[in-house]
Structure 1
Amino acid sequence: MTAAILQASGGFGTFLVPLALMFGIMYLMVILPQQRQRKKTQAMLTALKTGDKVITGSGIYGTISGLDGDSVIMKISSEPQVKIRIARAAIAQVETSQDAK
C-alpha cells in the first residue's frame, strides 16, 4: 500500500519538475527580454526633446518641434507650417547622426 502511494507522489513530482523548468526557460527567453525592451522604449520616449529627429512607427520622418504631455508636435517638411500632432507612443526611434546621413 505504501509503495503505491510513494510511486504516485513520485509521478506527480516528476510532472512538476519539467513543468517548472519549462516555465523558467520561457521566462528567461521570452518574458525577460520583452521587459528589457519595454523599459528601453519607455526611457527613449521620456527622453524626447525639441529638435530630436525621429521616425514614427508608420515610417514618417520628422523633427520634434514641441512636446505636449502624451502627444508630440512634429515638423515633417522644410516649410515651417507643415506640422502634425502624433501620440508620443507612435514614435518608433530617435534618429542618430549616422541614420540622418
Structure 2
Amino acid sequence: MEILLLVILLLVFLLPSFLMMRKQKRNQAEIQTFQNSLRPGDKVVTVSGLHGTVTAIAETSVVLEVAPGIDITMEKMSVVRYQHTGMVGTADSAGAVGYTHPEDTPEAPLDDQRGQSPSEPPFQAGGDTGSVDNAPEDPENRDTDGDHPENRP
C-alpha cells in the first residue's frame, strides 16, 4: 500500500514537468525550423520587438534592414516570428486573423492638437465647467474641531 502511494505521488509531481518539457522541446524545434527557413526579403520581428526586413543570412547571424539604408546584424536566434503573425511555436502562430498592424490602419481625423474627435466640441477656457456642488471639499480647507489626533497640538 505504501509503495502504491509513493508511485502515485511521484506521478503527480513528475508527469506534469515531463509533459511541459516535451511541449517546450517541440516549440524550440519549431522555432529552429523557422529560423533556418528565413530568406532575404522576409519581414520579421526579433525577441526585443525590433521590426525589420531580412537582407542577408549567415550561419548564426542575420542582417536586418530596420530603416531605409540602416542595416543591423543580429543573432539568428533573436528572430522569433514574421512581422504579421503570432509567435512561432504558440497557438497564435497560425496567423492573426483580423489583426491589422497599427502602421497599416488609417488615422482618424482630429479636430485640433489635443486629440479630440470632430464630434466633440472644442474645450473653451473660462467656460462652464459643470456643477461642482457634488465635488468633495479639499481637506486642506476644512474647518477642524480638533478631535482628530492629527489636529491636536
State the TM-score, normalized to the length of structure 1: 0.74
Is 88-97 or 67-76 further displaced after alignment?
A: 88-97
Summarize deviations over 1:7-35 as a string: whole Å, max 9, x none. Answer: xxx3234212331343223322x112111
| Cross-structure match for 2:13 | 22
**CA distance 1:70–1:77, shift in 2 (3 Å):** same
Q: How does 1:4-15 map to 2 (within 5 A)?
A: 10-15=1-6
Q: Name whichever structure is richer in helix by fraction.
A: 1
Taking every aligned residue pair, what percent have the same amino acid on both sides?
A: 20
| Cross-structure match for 2:31 | 41
C-alpha separation between the residues in 1 aligned to 2:6 and 2:34? 43
- Gapped regions of structure 2 (runs ≥ 5): 86-98, 105-153
Q: Name whichever structure is richer in strand by fraction.
A: 1
**CA distance 1:37–1:17, shift in 2 (3 Å):** same
Q: How does 1:54-73 map to 2 (within 5 A)?
A: 54-73=44-63
| Cross-structure match for 1:5 | none
Match of 1:88 among 49, 58, 76: 76
SS in 1 for 2:44: strand
Moved over 3 A (4+): 96-101
Summarize deviations over 1:33-59 as a string: whole Å, max 9, x none. Answer: 111111111111000011100111111
| Cross-structure match for 1:77 | 67
Question: Is residue 2:34 matched to residue 1:31?
Answer: no
C-alpha separation between the residues in 1 aligned to 2:52 and 2:35? 15
C-alpha separation between the residues in 2 aligned to 1:26 and 1:57? 25
CA-atom RMSD in angstroms: 2.0
Highest relative contact order (Cα 8 Å, sep 6+), 1 or 2? Answer: 1
Provide the aligned length of Structure 1 versus Structure 2. Answer: 89
Of structures 1 and 2, the larger Rg is shown by: 2
SS in 2 for 1:63: strand
